[in-house]
Structure 1
Amino acid sequence: MKRVLFIIMLFGMCLHFNQAHAQRCLPGMRGIQFTGGLSDNMRWKSGDGFGYHAGIAVSTYTKNAHHWVVGAEYLEKRYDYRGSLYPASQFTGEGGYYLNFLSDRKKTFFAALGLSALAGYETVNWGESRLPDGSLLTDGDHFIYGGALTLELSAYLTDKVVLQVNGRQRMLFGGDCGRFHSQIGVGVRFMIR
């Protein structure tokens, strides 16, 4: 009886110390992510310079938790003119590669650096060049292109849900609303395969 009890206790200890963790970030795994946050001046107040962004993307993991990201993003920044706010909006598509450079042993926390190509369309005041006071906007609508450098921190909340925090610097050419746009955002990624 003591021998059976000893074997059961030994087996229980082995199960406790060698727990199997779920497989995470395996090559070929995919997730859909939703992100949003503040842009440029990083103000919460909806006044001059207030900017925000929102995006959706699909991530596909490769070796060592590196991943490809393909998605779309909307960025809006508002400018004050005589007490009224006028929007400058950018619709961009993104394709990029994120290189994982730091993770814990259990694959719960990750830090990745991403480089992306961006292309899209920029519109100022939704194409309306005449303002209510009769002034004429000289900025117009343009196709834009460029890239982005992103630092992404992510943590698995469950095996299928990943929380993200990121900082990004976008550099875009072809538009009238500035070349550089800084972003800070949060997001969630749902692993779908």
Structure 2
Amino acid sequence: MKRLHLYIIGLFLLSLTMKGQRLIAKQKAVEINAGLLLNNSNNKNCFISTALTIHSGKGNYSFFSLEYMRESENYKTVAIPIDTYIAEAGYSFNLLADRKKNILINFSLSAVVGYENINKGEQFLFDGAMILSECNFVYGAGGKLSVEVYISDRIVLLPHFKTKALWNTSRNLFTPSAGFGIRINL
């Protein structure tokens, strides 16, 4: 009976000193992000994205994401919708981390391609005015600064700031945004 108690106490002490394995090479994760576009004061401008990440060790990882951005421009009494669909691929570099890898600061660079749809493809407005901007395929680059907070070995909270430089658009070259996400390590 004493042996059983010693085994239980030993397993308990061993479990206190064990650490989970994080940031293992080739570990995959699924991520969901949402936030606001910071290019003007309209709070209806937002985005939502989903991503697949593949860790390469030491806090670095590659990622592939799909994003939907919804913006609107005011014209008289109506808001003209601008929808942008984006595919993104990039690599994230770990800049700073604590010893136990509970909090990491990462910087990401990415390539971006997508499609920008203005007013659902309709050129004329309710009063007969014509929109001179056209729907286009867009391309460019992106950068993101994120703070990754590990709640557990599988769940990560991701507040972040990012910007995209999009060419072939009739809108602003840079699209800054701030958001929050959650990642689930598989």
Q: TM-score, normalised by structure 1?
A: 0.87
- Secondary structure at the aligned position of 1:175 is classed as coil
Q: What does residue 30 of structure 1 align with?
A: 28
Cα distance in 2 for partners of 1:137, 1:172 equals 20
Cα distance in 2 for partners of 1:85, 1:18 equals 57
Superposition map of 1:1-193 within 5 A = 15=13, 19-41=17-39, 43=41, 46=43, 50-192=44-186
Is contact 1:160-1:190 (8 Å) kept?
A: yes
Cα distance in 2 for partners of 1:190, 1:23 equals 14
Is contact 1:88-1:177 (8 Å) kept?
A: no
Is contact 2:39-2:175 (8 Å) kept?
A: no
The structure-2 alpha-carbon separation of the partners of 1:159 and 1:39, relative to structure 1 and needing over 3 Å to count, comes to same
Mean Cα deviation higher: 33-42 or 67-76: 33-42
Q: What residue identity is the alignment partner of 1:26? A: I
Q: Report the RMSD for the aligned CA atoms in angstroms.
A: 1.9
Q: Spell out structure 1 runs of 4+ moving beyond 6 A.
A: none
Cα distance in 1 for partners of 2:58, 2:153 equals 17
CA deviation profile, 1:44-101 (whole Å, cap 9, x unmatched): x65xxx4111100000000211000101111121100001101111111000000011
Cα distance in 2 for partners of 1:176, 1:134 equals 21
Q: What residue identity is the alignment partner of 1:80? A: N
- Residue 15 of structure 1: how far off its partner (Å): 3.0
Name the count of aligned residue pairs: 179
Cα distance in 1 for partners of 2:22, 2:155 equals 11
CA deviation profile, 1:133-154 (whole Å, cap 9, x unmatched): 1100001110100001110111
- Secondary structure at the aligned position of 1:62 is classed as strand
Cα distance in 1 for partners of 2:15, 2:53 equals 33
Cα distance in 2 for partners of 1:166, 1:54 equals 13
Unaligned runs of 5+ in 1: none
Cα distance in 1 for partners of 2:156, 2:85 equals 25
Unaligned runs of 5+ in 2: none
